[in-house]
Amino acid sequence: MHDLEFPLGLPAFETYTRFRLVPSSKYAELLFLESQEHPDVSFPLVPVPLLDPNYQLTLSEEDCVALGIEDSGAIPADLVCLAIVTAYEDWPPTANLLAPVVVNLATRRAVQSVRGDALYSHKLR
């Protein structure tokens, strides 16, 4: 379990800045991002490389500052990129590769990095 700070919050949840990354007890690759301020707010996550091994992460200057990365041209090896999964009642689940959750394990800071391009979808099946 990792306690994380989201200095910018999450889109639509900007006031929630403290989260906990919790592994699933049933599925090895599934994680949950749980709000420490509001325990009923939780997001299922999977590592992006499982969905797309060739995923090309890009970070804005604002994301780099929030993550504690000094050089925006060099992405550190201790970053973890996770996709939020959305499950629907009558449809297969989808994963958001357009706005992954990026965690800097060295600083324990994280952001939901919304890409400025349309290279990836927010509804990958």
| CATH code (residue 44) | 2.30.290.10
Task: Give the SS3 label for residue 87.
Answer: coil
**73 found inside a domain:** yes
Question: Would you say residue 43 lies in a domain?
Answer: yes
DSSP 79: E
Residue 125's pLDDT band (boundaries 50, 70, 90)? low
Q: Is residue 124 part of a domain?
A: no
Confirm if 85 and 92 have CB atoms less than 8 A apart: no
Cβ distance 68 to 107 under 8 Å?
yes
13 assigned to some structural domain: yes
| Parent domain of 46 | 2-112
Provide mean pLDDT across the span 28-42: 94
Q: Is the Cβ–Cβ distance between 34 and 18 less than 8 Å?
A: no
Domain count, the chain: 1
> At residue 123, does pLDDT exceed 80?
no
Nearest by Cα to 113 from 59, 39, 47: 59
Residue 122 lies in a domain: no
User: Is the separation of the CB atoms in 82 and 46 below 8 Å?
Assistant: yes
